[in-house]
Structure 1
Amino acid sequence: MPSFPLNQHTSPPSLPYLSSHSALEPSICEHSITRHHTKHHQTYVNALNAAEAAYTNASTPKERIPLLASLKFNEGGPRALRRRQQGHRRRAQGRPLKSPIEQVWGSLDSIQGSGWVWLGYNTQTKRLEIATTPNQDPLLRLVPIIGVDIWEHAFYLQYLNVKPDYLNAIWNVINFEEAEARLSRLPATPSSKRDPPTERCTSLKN
């Protein structure tokens, strides 16, 4: 089984796509960004360091196997938060990305789902897809283009229990420039053939 360097994870990381914690106001308030950046992320990192230390110090597979769930959860959290931070920035709505989205799903409204929701690129089919990941499970099958955090802590400080308001506002701060850059680095553009949404797609408006 693998070993890990101890206590190599630090937090909070820099936010290269945000000039400050208030950069996404008023769509996402400064308090929410600050809490995500300095509290939630730090909790994941502390727990990840502890889990890696326990895993490395464990002497038998029986001791190590129960730690795998903690490693998965606490490694997935920081990765998802980093992708979310990289994908959020005040930008005009992008056109090159909008076109393939509309070709497959008809409109931006149709790509919304529940949980951690990702717009990703399938390198096998050369198409954009929507996927949801429970808890902090990492996105493995697709290359992430846009990620939206639907955990309650992402919106409750500002939007309380009115999730639709948060989901409407999040589109004001999606970094379409970064999303399009990710898409342009991939080997081929999505197919122009429009298919109905897959069974994994659910509406965020419900």
Structure 2
Amino acid sequence: MLARVALGLARDGQSAVPTMTRAMSSVKLPDLPYSYGALEPYISGQIMELHHSKHHATYVANLNKALEQQAEAEHKGDVAKLISLQSAIKFNGGGHVNHDIFWTNLCPHKEWQPPSGDLKALIEAQWKTLDNFTTTFSAQTAAVQGSGWGWLGYNKATHKLEVVTLPNQDPLSVTGLVPLLGIDVWEHAYYLQYKNVRPDYLKAIWNIVNWQNVEQRLAAAKK
């Protein structure tokens, strides 16, 4: 159960790497809150289907496999095996947690609403306008070398927002920030539609960001 708790904590900005665990139920691939084609024309239905049903599903399958091996190694007292499994748990656990956030951070364009309330106030206090924020976020995220993520996180110590990029599937929890908004810039998230032009993908995705979900995450982080 500790591994499942750890994955849940990662969504709230705490450690995503489970410690030695006992038997646990399997991690599940979440359903999307919309159809595969609901984000068109900004993200194609083909990309969404492959991204969710193949890529995210693979992270879930590999995470469950690693967690089963971890439980077995703990039962046997095999410390060397436990240590060797941590990279697989971090990578696949991060892939699962990151995508779990990503899907809910998006919405069909017809449901799009601009930031409001505390989120709007923080964005305007730090970047003056939403356009300035999205420009900053897109520029930093487009510059990610290879595969990774762009994040908007909340710093509980400073009570400010921060834009951070991380490689591969590293979860934002490794920085101590609470994840509010994550944008996947692995090529599988955009290549079939945007080819190698990552900035075009980043420009388009702001049309389908679910700011209400981001606001809910901020409200939870401030409690």
Relative to the length of structure 1, the TM-score reads 0.83
1:87–1:146: 8 Å Cα contact kept in structure 2?
A: yes
Deviation sequence 1:119-158 (CA, Å, 0-9, x none): 1111111111111221111111111111111111110011
Aligned residue in 2 for 1:49: 64
Structure 2 match to 1:92: 113
Is 2:79 aligned against 1:61? yes
Indicate if the aligned counterparts of 1:105 and 1:111 stay in contact, CA closer than 8 A.
no
> What is the distance in 2 between the residues matched to 1:52 and 1:147?
25
Partner of 1:132: 165
Q: What does residue 15 of structure 1 align with?
A: 32
Instruction: Report the more deviating stretch, 38-47 or 50-59.
Output: 50-59
- What's the C-alpha RMSD, in Å, of the aligned pairs? 1.8
Alignment of 1:122 onto 2:155: yes
Query: Percent identity over the alignment?
Result: 42
Q: Measure, in 2, the Cα distance between the counterparts of 1:52 and 1:182.
A: 27
Equivalent residue number for residue 156 of structure 1 = 191
1:110 is matched with 136
Alignment-mate amino acid for residue 127 of structure 2: W
- Structure 1 window deviating more from structure 2 (51-60 vs 124-133): it is 51-60
User: Structure 1 186/72 Cα, relative in aligned 2: closer, same or farther at 3 Å?
Assistant: closer
Whether the 8 Å contact between 1:7 and 1:53 is mirrored in structure 2 is: no
SS at match of 1:169: helix
Amino acid at match of 2:165: T
Whole-angstrom distance in 2 between the partners of 1:181 and 1:138: 19
Q: Match of 2:136, as an amino acid?
A: S
Give the direction of change, closer, same or farther, for the CA distance of 1:66–1:129 in structure 2 (3 Å limit).
same
Q: 2: distance between equivalents of 1:38 and 1:85?
A: 12
4+ runs deviating over 6 angstroms: none
Instruction: Give SS of 1:56's match.
Output: helix
SS for the counterpart of 1:170 is helix
SS at the partner of 1:24?
A: coil
* CA deviation string 1:50-71 (max 9, x = no partner): 1112222223211221111001
How far did 1:102 drift?
Answer: 3.0
- Aligned equivalent of 1:32, options 22, 31, 47: 47
For residue 180 of structure 1, report the CA deviation from its aligned partner.
1.7
Deviation at 1:7, TM superposition (A): 5.9
TM-aligned CA deviation for residue 25 of structure 1:
0.5
Report the alpha carbon displacement of residue 172 of structure 1 after superposing the two structures with TM. Answer: 0.5
Deviation track 1:82-110 (CA, whole Å, cap 9, x = no partner) reads 10001001303224434422321341212
Task: Please say if residues 137 and 150 of structure 2, whose CA atoms lie closer than 8 Å, have aligned partners that are also in contact.
Answer: no
- Pairwise CA distance, 1:4: 4.1
Could you say what secondary structure the match of 1:63 adopts? helix
Task: Give SS of 2:164's match.
Answer: strand
Which range moved further: 178-187 or 141-150? Answer: 178-187
Deviation at 1:73, TM superposition (A): 0.6
Distance 1:122 1:25 in 2: 33
Query: Unmatched 5+ residue regions in structure 2?
Result: 1-18, 142-147
Residues 102 and 45 (structure 1), Cα distance of their counterparts in 2 relative to 1, 3 Å cut: same
Is 1:81 paired with 2:103? no
Unaligned runs of 5+ in 1: 189-206
Higher relative helix content = 2
The one-letter amino acid paired with 1:111 is: F
